[in-house]
C-alpha cells in the first residue's frame, strides 16, 4: 500500500506557513504566502508525474527529451483553494482547472455542496484537489466523491494544514488518495477549527473576516 500521508518538509514552506499562521498577517500578504506555499507543494507533488520520450531538434542537432505524458487538472475547493491555483499553474501552465464549491455549515460543520464545473477528460488526468485546510475532512471527502463521480481515477489531495480527524476521514473514505500537507496540527476545537491552525482560510485569503 503506498504511503497515503506525505508531510512536505522544506525550509521555505515552513517560513511561508508561519506567515500564514500569524494573526497579524494582512490579507494581501496572506494571499502571497499562500501562492508561494502552493508553488512549493506543486513541485513536490509533481515529482512522480509520468513522462514520455520525444525527439526534438536543438538549434544544433537532433536529440531526445522528455515531456509530461498526461493531462493534469487542478481543482480548488471554493473558496480558499482558489488561493493555491496560481502556484500550481506556475509549474503546470497547461493544467486544466476545475472548480468545486463546498462550504461547511457553521452550526453542524457538515459540508454543503453548491457548485461543480470540471474539465472534460478528467478520467485520464492526474487530478490535484486543492484546499489549504483539512479539518473534519467533510469538505475533502465530499469533493473527492464528486471527482470520482465525474470519473477521476488518479486523485491527490493537496492541503497545507491538516488535523488528525481530517486525515482519518479521508483515509476512511478514500484510502487510495494520497494526502499532501505542510503540517499536521494538534487537534480540532469545539467549533471544528484547527488548532493551532491559521483561522478561517477563505476569509483570510479574500479579506472577508
Positions that interact with ligand PRP (CB under 6 A): 77-80, 103-104, 109, 111, 131, 133-140, 166, 192, 200-202
Task: Give the burial string for 28-51 (b: 16+ CB within 10 Å, else e).
Answer: eebbebbbbbbbbbbebbbeeeee
Q: In angstroms, what is the minimal distance from the CB of 159 to ligand PRP?
A: 8
Rg (CA), the chain: 17
Contact status: 201 vs ligand URA (CB under 6 A)? yes
Count of chain residues binding ligand URA (CB under 6 A): 9
Contact status: 83 vs ligand URA (CB under 6 A)? no
- Residues 5/166, Cβ–Cβ less than 8 Å: no
> Between 21 and 60, how does the x/- string for binding to ligand URA read (CB under 6 A)?
----------------------------------------
Which of ligand URA, ligand PRP, none interacts with 42 (beta carbon under 5 to 8 A by kind)? none
Which of ligand URA, ligand PRP, none interacts with 109 (beta carbon under 5 to 8 A by kind)? ligand PRP
Of the residues 73, 135, 143, 160, which one makes contact with ligand URA according to CB under 6 A? 135
Three-class HEC string of 118-186: CCCCHHHCEEEEECCEECCCHHHHHHHHHHHHCCCCEEEEECCEECHHHHHHHHHHCCCCEEEECEECC
Q: In Å, how far are 42, 82, 168, 186 from 144, measured between CA atoms?
A: 19, 16, 14, 24
Give the total residue count for the chain.
209
Which of ligand PRP, ligand URA, none interacts with 16 (beta carbon under 5 to 8 A by kind)? none
**Paired strand residues for 130:** 76, 158
Of the residues 78, 119, 193, 206, which one makes contact with ligand URA according to CB under 6 A? 193
Residues found near ligand URA in the complex (CB under 6 A): 80, 133, 135, 193-194, 197, 200-202
Amino acid at each position: 500500500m503506498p504511503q497515503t500521508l506525505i508531510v512536505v518538509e522544506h525550509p521555505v514552506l515552513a517560513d511561508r506557513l508561519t506567515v500564514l499562521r500569524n494573526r497579524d498577517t494582512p490579507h494581501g500578504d496572506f494571499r502571497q504566502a499562500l501562492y508561494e506555499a502552493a508553488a512549493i507543494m506543486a513541485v513536490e507533488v509533481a515529482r512522480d508525474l509520468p513522462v514520455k520520450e520525444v525527439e526534438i531538434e536543438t538549434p544544433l542537432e537532433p536529440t531526445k527529451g522528455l515531456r509530461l505524458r498526461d493531462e493534469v487538472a487542478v481543482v480548488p475547493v471554493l473558496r480558499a483553494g482558489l488561493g493555491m491555483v496560481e502556484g500550481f499553474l506556475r509549474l503546470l501552465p497547461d493544467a486544466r482547472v476545475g472548480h468545486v464549491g463546498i462550504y461547511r455549515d457553521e452550526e453542524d460543520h457538515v459540508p454543503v455542496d453548491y457548485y461543480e464545473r470540471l474539465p472534460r477528460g478528467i478520467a485520464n488526468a492526474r487530478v490535484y484537489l486543492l484546499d489549504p485546510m483539512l479539518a473534519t475532512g467533510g469538505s475533502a471527502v465530499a469533493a473527492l466523491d464528486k471527482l470520482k463521480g465525474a470519473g477521476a481515477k488518479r486523485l491527490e489531495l493537496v492541503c497545507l494544514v491538516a488535523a488528525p480527524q481530517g486525515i482519518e476521514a479521508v483515509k476512511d473514505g478514500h484510502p487510495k488518495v494520497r494526502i499532501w500537507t505542510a503540517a499536521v496540527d494538534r487537534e480540532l476545537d469545539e467549533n471544528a477549527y484547527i488548532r493551532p491552525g491559521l483561522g478561517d482560510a477563505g476569509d483570510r485569503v479574500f479579506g472577508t473576516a
